[in-house]
């Protein structure tokens, strides 16, 4: 084997290792979203504690991915296309870490909310939001592995649906708080959680945009669809 082929083979092995870490990290983050939403709806504090404890594994994986990616850049001198792949991996791992943080934040509030009377079906609505975010994440990861630009574009389009679900919940929380001041504390916690789930969708969208950049060498031309109306309502 020539030196050039040996370098290429070593680079491929390095990339395979990083890709495997990304998929492991993605699976853990998917679990974190689902379990955090379930713990909130069922008021399962032990399950919420499990989500919080697992977040350190996600953080460690991100650090390992960044370290391995930096080592590949330093040792393998990748070409422009290969460098784009490595930089995309680093950005995707950063997005996954942030989504994991949002799931952990959701789990942190389960204990507080479990001591308060439920506010209508708010936790069920948040679980439905979380399910959509989890589906977006799964498809963003699939799009990355398959280099599927069409699937990545679908993920980006679905973010608007998640925003609309969040907007509807935000308006409900305002109504509940105005109708009964005793709902204010619980609604504030629930709103924080719903906003975290909405932000999960933003990071899934960012991952999908990285897939398009990876395949086409440029980011999507169209502006990302956003339907979060709450910032306007809060300013008004």
The 3 state secondary structure assigned to the chain is CCHHHHHHHHHHHHHHHHHHHHHHHHHHHHHHHHHHHHHHHHCCHHHHHHHHHHHHHHHHHHHHHHHHHHHHHHHHCCCHHHHHHHHHHHHHHHHHHHHHHHHHHHHHHHHHHCCCCCCCCHHHHHHHHHHHHHHHHHHHHHHHHHCCHHHHHHHHHHHHHHHHHHHHHHHHHHHHHHHCHHHHHHHHHHHHHHHHHHHHHHHHHHHHHHHHHHHHCCCCCCCCCCCCCHHHHHHC
Each residue's pLDDT tens digit, 180-219: 999 999 999 999 999 999 999 999 999 999 999 999 887 7
Question: Rounded to an integer, what distance in angstroms lies between the CA atom of residue 67 and that of residue 199?
Answer: 26
What pLDDT digit, counting tens, does each position of 107-119 carry? 999 989 999 988 8
The tokens of 29 are what? 């983050």
User: What proportion of the chain, given as a percentage, has pLDDT over 90?
Assistant: 72
* Cα–Cα distance measured from residue 159 to residue 198, given in angstroms and rounded to the nearest whole number: 8
pLDDT at 222: 61
pLDDT of residue 179: 93
pLDDT tier at 166, thresholds 50, 70, 90: very high
pLDDT band at residue 236 under the 50/70/90 scheme? very low
- The band of 228, judged by pLDDT with boundaries at 50, 70 and 90, is low
**Mean of all residue pLDDT scores within the chain:** 89
Question: 56 or 13, which is more confident?
Answer: 56
Q: What does the domain layout of the chain look like in residue ranges?
A: 3-235
Read off the pLDDT of each residue in 42-57 and give the average, rounded to a whole number.
Answer: 95
Q: Is the pLDDT confidence value at 3 over 50?
A: no
Q: What is the pLDDT of residue 58?
A: 97
The pLDDT of residue 4 is above 80:
no
177 and 183 in contact (C-beta within 8 Å)? yes
Domain 3-235, second-level architecture: Up-down Bundle (1.20)
| 10-48 pLDDT per residue, tens | 777 888 899 999 999 999 999 999 999 999 999 999 999
Diameter of the chain measured on Cα atoms: 76
């Amino acid at each position: 084997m020539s030196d050039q082929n040996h370098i290429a083979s070593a680079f491929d092995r390095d990339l395979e290792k990083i890709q495997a870490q990304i998929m492991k990290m993605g699976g853990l983050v998917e679990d974190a979203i689902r379990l955090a939403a379930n713990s909130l709806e069922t008021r399962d504090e032990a399950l919420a504690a499990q989500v919080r404890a697992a977040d350190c594994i996600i953080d460690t994986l991100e650090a390992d991915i960044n370290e391995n990616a930096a080592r590949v850049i330093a040792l393998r001198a990748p070409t422009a296309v290969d460098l784009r792949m490595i930089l995309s991996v680093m950005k995707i791992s950063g997005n996954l870490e942030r989504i994991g943080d949002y799931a952990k934040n959701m789990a942190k509030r389960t204990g507080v909310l479990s001591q308060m009377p439920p506010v209508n079906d708010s936790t069920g609505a948040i679980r439905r939001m979380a399910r959509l975010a989890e589906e977006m994440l799964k498809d963003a990861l699939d799009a990355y592995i398959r280099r599927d630009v069409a699937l990545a574009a679908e993920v980006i389009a679905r973010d608007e649906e998640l925003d609309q679900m969040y907007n509807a919940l935000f308006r409900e929380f305002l109504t509940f708080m105005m109708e009964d001041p005793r709902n204010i504390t619980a609604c504030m916690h629930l709103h924080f959680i719903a906003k975290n789930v909405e932000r999960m969708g933003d990071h899934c969208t960012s991952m999908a945009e990285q897939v398009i950049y990876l395949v086409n060498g440029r980011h999507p031309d169209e502006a990302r669809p956003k339907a979060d109306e709450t910032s306007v309502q809060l300013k008004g």
